């Protein structure tokens, strides 16, 4: 098994910064890359903010937070990430975007570098096929928000070898995470179950069965969910929800996975949830307000 000391994270958004955060806290040296220096700087600032929040809640101490942020370095050039022991892609949930990242990395990779994708739905086998090392490629699907959620889904592609799998599981557990094994089917386990539920909640709204507030309260109070499904969709990002539903619909060829037309309309309008200030709730005021 490869001994992992350095981790490269590609993507400084919500998931990438979360992964960098937990890796640095666990003692790994981290290189964080995105398409611009501004995005990398914003990502590192977000990590600092979240570490400070953990200190204020007595989850970690000040020294641990300072040591963690010192371990995270910006990587302006993608090829810099290729020199790490483990490179984790955490870009947008789009197959072509992810494949292009791995293609660009390939000429610069060291012989022992392991590759991982944080994809929440896309075939690990297909992503691995564009690299020179499909046997050293694996899916590590972290849950959002990464610092709080305990689970990592580990997904082997058809070519993933046993040492890569064992290294990946040990790495995830070194971050304080629990792992579950998922086969390489569309959306794996968590999102195969969770995202169709969100889509069905949107259908329930679309068909007039209930309002946003009624649907979310029904699941929070009737099923003991911490967040309602529409609120959760906004938190994940409605563009991501739509991408996952499309992967399920196309990959499994079953009409039960057809994305709700209202979900499509919201994404076309740019109403993607919390990150854009508007989705099934309007987040631009002091408190979120249902939009329907």
What is the model's pTM? 0.91
Contact 54, 69 (CB under 8 A): no
Return the ∠ at Cα 178 (arms to 112 and 171), rounded to 5°. Answer: 15
Q: Which residues are catalytic?
A: 120, 141, 153, 191
Share of the chain above pLDDT 90, in %: 98
- CB contact burial 133-160 (16+ within 10 A = b; e otherwise): bbebbbbbbbbbebbeeeebbbbbbebb
Nearby residues of 116 by Cβ (< 8 Å), 6 or more positions away: 86, 87, 88, 89, 137, 138, 139, 140, 168
Q: Report, as an integer, the average pLDDT of 213-228.
A: 97
pLDDT band at 17 (very low <50, low <70, confident <90, very high): very high
Q: Report, as an integer, the average pLDDT of 214-219.
A: 98
The bridge status of strand 86-89 relative to strand 6-10 is parallel
> What mean pLDDT value characterizes the chain?
96
Q: Report, as an integer, the average pLDDT of 145-154.
A: 96
The per-residue pLDDT for 1 is: 63
Q: What is the pLDDT of residues 174-203, one digit of tens each?
A: 999 999 999 999 999 999 999 999 999 999
Q: Report, as an integer, the average pLDDT of 125-150.
A: 97
The per-residue pLDDT for 292 is: 87
- Number of Cβ atoms within 10 Å of the Cβ of 59: 14
- Number of Cβ atoms within 10 Å of the Cβ of 238: 29
Return the ∠ at Cα 148 (arms to 177 and 232), rounded to 5°. Answer: 120
Q: Report, as an integer, the average pLDDT of 70-82.
A: 96
Q: What is the pLDDT of residues 242-290, one digit of tens each?
A: 999 999 999 999 999 999 999 999 999 999 999 999 999 999 999 999 9
**What one-character DSSP code corresponds to residue 278?**
B
Alpha helices, DSSP H, located in the chain:
14-25, 37-56, 62-70, 78-81, 95-105, 124-128, 162-174, 190-206, 212-222, 229-236, 238-252, 261-269
The per-residue pLDDT for 228 is: 97
The per-residue pLDDT for 24 is: 98
Q: Which of helix, strand or coil describes residue 132? A: coil
The per-residue pLDDT for 189 is: 97
Contact 259, 267 (CB under 8 A): no
Share of the chain above pLDDT 70, in %: 100
Q: Which of helix, strand or coil describes residue 195? A: helix
Q: What is the pLDDT of residues 92-127, one digit of tens each?
A: 999 999 999 999 999 999 999 999 999 999 999 999
The per-residue pLDDT for 209 is: 98
pLDDT band at 2 (very low <50, low <70, confident <90, very high): confident
């Amino acid at each position: 098994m490869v001994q992992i000391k350095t981790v490269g994270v590609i993507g400084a958004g919500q998931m990438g910064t979360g992964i960098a955060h937990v890796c640095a806290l666990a003692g790994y040296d981290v290189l964080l890359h995105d398409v611009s220096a501004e995005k990398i700087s914003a990502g590192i600032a977000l990590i600092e903010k979240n570490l400070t929040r953990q200190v204020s809640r007595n989850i970690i101490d000040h020294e641990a937070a300072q040591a963690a942020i010192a371990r995270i370095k910006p990587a302006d050039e993608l090829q810099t990430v290729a020199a790490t022991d483990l490179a984790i892609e955490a870009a947008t949930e789009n197959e072509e975007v992810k494949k292009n990242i791995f293609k660009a990395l390939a000429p610069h990779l060291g012989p022992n570098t392991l590759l991982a994708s944080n994809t929440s739905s896309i075939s690990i086998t297909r992503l691995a096929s564009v690299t020179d090392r499909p046997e050293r490629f694996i899916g590590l699907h972290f849950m959002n928000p990464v610092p709080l959620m305990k689970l990592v889904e580990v997904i082997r592609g058809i070519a993933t070898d046993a040492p890569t799998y064992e290294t990946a599981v040990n790495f995830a557990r070194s971050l304080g995470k629990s792992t579950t094994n998922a086969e390489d089917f569309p959306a794996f386990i968590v999102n195969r179950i969770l995202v169709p539920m969100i889509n069905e909640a949107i259908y329930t709204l679309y068909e007039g069965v209930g309002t946003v507030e009624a649907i979310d309260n029904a699941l929070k109070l009737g099923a003991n969910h911490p967040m309602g499904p529409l609120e959760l969709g906004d938190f994940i990002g409605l563009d991501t929800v739509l991408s996952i539903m499309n992967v399920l619909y196309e990959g499994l060829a079953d009409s039960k996975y057809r994305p709700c037309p209202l979900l499509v309309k919201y994404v076309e309008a740019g109403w993607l949830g919390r990150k854009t200030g508007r989705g099934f709730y309007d987040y631009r005021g002091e408190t979120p307000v249902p939009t329907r």
